[in-house]
Amino acid sequence: MGNFLPNDLIRRLNERADFDSEAFLETHQTGDKITSIRLNPHKQQQSPFVRIKQVPWCTFGYYLEERPSFTLDPLYHAGCYYVQEASSMFIAHILEQLGLANSKIKALDLCAAPGGKSTLLNSYLGVESLLVSNEVIKARANILVDNINRWGTANVVVTNNDPSAFNRLPGYFDVLLVDAPCSGSGMFRKDQKAIDEWSSANVKLCSDRQKRILAESLSTLSTDGYLLYSTCSYSQEENEDIVDWVMDEFGFESVSIPVKADWGIEETHSPKHYAFGYRFYPHRVMGEGFFISVLKKRTSQSSFPKNKMRPEKSAISLYEAAKWVHPADIFFQFMHGDDLRIFPKAYMDDLRALQQVLYIKQAGTSLGKWTGRELLPSHDLACSIYIRTDLPSQELDLQTALKYLRKENLDRDHFTQTNTGWCLVRYEGVNLGWVKVLPNRVNNYYPKEVRIMNL
Torsional sign, CA 205, 211, 216, 222: positive
Q: How many residues does the chain have?
A: 455
**383 carries a ligand binding annotation:** no
* Catalytic entry in 58, 80, 206, 232: 232
What's the CA gap between 399 and 209, in Å, rounded? 47
Q: At what angle do helices 240-250 and 200-215 cross, to 10 degrees?
A: 30
**162 carries a ligand binding annotation:** yes
Which of 452, 374, 448, 432 has the alpha carbon at shortest distance from 152? Answer: 432
What's the CA gap between 350 and 314, in Å, rounded? 18
**146 carries a ligand binding annotation:** no
Is residue 232 part of the annotated active site? The answer reads: yes
The gap between the terminal CA atoms of the chain, to the nearest Å, is 40
Which of 422, 394, 358 has the alpha carbon at shortest distance from 132? Answer: 358
Mode of pairing for the β-strands spanning 221-231 and 290-297: antiparallel
**277 carries a ligand binding annotation:** no
**111 carries a ligand binding annotation:** yes
Which of 28, 67, 65, 8 has the alpha carbon at shortest distance from 191? Answer: 28
Count of other CB atoms within 10 angstroms of residue 455: 9
Bridge partners, residue 177, by sequence: 109, 228
**66 carries a ligand binding annotation:** no
**117 carries a ligand binding annotation:** yes
Count of other CB atoms within 10 angstroms of residue 362: 22
Bridge partners, residue 294, by sequence: 228, 255
Say if residues 92 and 60 touch (Cβ distance below 8 Å): yes
Say if residues 174 and 226 touch (Cβ distance below 8 Å): yes
Which of 267, 276, 186, 184 has the alpha carbon at shortest distance from 226? Answer: 276
**8 carries a ligand binding annotation:** no
**113 carries a ligand binding annotation:** yes
**115 carries a ligand binding annotation:** yes
Displacement of CA 328 from its chain's centroid (Å) = 25
Binding site feature residues for S-adenosyl-L-methionine: 111-117, 135, 162, 179
Binding site feature residues: 111-117, 135, 162, 179
Catalytic residues: 232
